[in-house]
Structure 1
């Protein structure tokens, strides 16, 4: 099997959309909730969410990476400088643990039919490598560590075990809660 991961630039936008919103439903998540304030999303209206993400893909730091297995888009990882992720910048629940200009992972999506095959872990490795190639000194993630099975609908913040598999270490916990569990702060240093 061939494997590739690339930033979601305009030429890869359709592949990204095939992973997170294959039917292009207007009210479906476009992974904007952390990148734009709710008021900005509301101003866009449902029909313009796709265009907003397209505009994000044109930035110097696109909103994340898309992974391919044998040329088929199979996964999405929202990763970028924390300073460019509006919700994290303003968050009183997921506060910075120090002054390191980290990149943050806020969402992971594996396409149906490709789950439980190691796609997420492989994609996370590539996402971390991508951040390192762009000068990130470290990458943080904010997963949950549920005692049982976590409620997974489509996208998720990941689990402690998943991030440990790619070298992340627990740095603390946040005041944010997901699936009724506190979210952790995990980091992988790249320097």
Structure 2
């Protein structure tokens, strides 16, 4: 298996990973942290996909995709923190005034999980942020102490995943997902 991670410039491939099965369904589309909460709540059905299509056409696009050959197998949402809801978060603190980037979602398609693709996605998100001039990158994974995380909540990643990716704990947060506390993990890039 030769996994390649590339910028998410294909709307169709992003749709495969984060879009709904039905176009009118109210799926997340990985917008929950990418746009302000008020806007996120106001968008419904096809409006959500239309916004993602617009974001995919921007520079930089809203994340990276992992490919196994020609098949898209994973997604990671990554962007400057200033352009995400983390910029105003009361639960995820700011460590300092560095123009840090955030990686907030790591998703691997069913049938491809357990093969290390999340590690490739995190490494690809780090490289993507570095290539776009980010001085540092943060993630907000759960500190699950090796316990199983429900697959629907595993998108934030785990402390172990981020530690293996070269991140260190920079702060504790007031955020909890699936009963596990979330940490602010950071990796300096410059």
What TM-score do the two structures reach when normalised by structure 1?
A: 0.92
Alignment partner, residue 21 of structure 2: 23
Alignment partner, residue 35 of structure 1: 34
Alignment partner, residue 139 of structure 2: 141
Give the alignment of 1:51-130 within 5 angstroms: 51-85=50-84, 87-130=85-128
Inter-partner Cα distance in structure 1 for 2:41 and 2:166: 38
Inter-partner Cα distance in structure 1 for 2:153 and 2:27: 11
Q: 1:155 to 1:18 in 2, by over 3 A?
A: farther
- Counterpart contact for 1:17–1:24, Cα < 8 Å: no
Alignment size in residue pairs: 188
Inter-partner Cα distance in structure 2 for 1:24 and 1:143: 29
Q: What CA RMSD, in Å, does the superposition of the two structures yield over aligned residues? A: 1.6
Unaligned runs of 5+ in 1: none
Q: 1:154 to 1:73 in 2, by over 3 A?
A: farther
Deviations 1:94-147 (A, max 9, x none): 121111111101111000011000000011111101110110111100000114
Q: Quote how far apart the aligned CAs of 1:44 are.
A: 2.8
Alignment partner, residue 2 of structure 1: 2
Q: 1:89 to 1:107 in 2, by over 3 A?
A: same
What TM-score do the two structures reach when normalised by structure 2?
A: 0.92
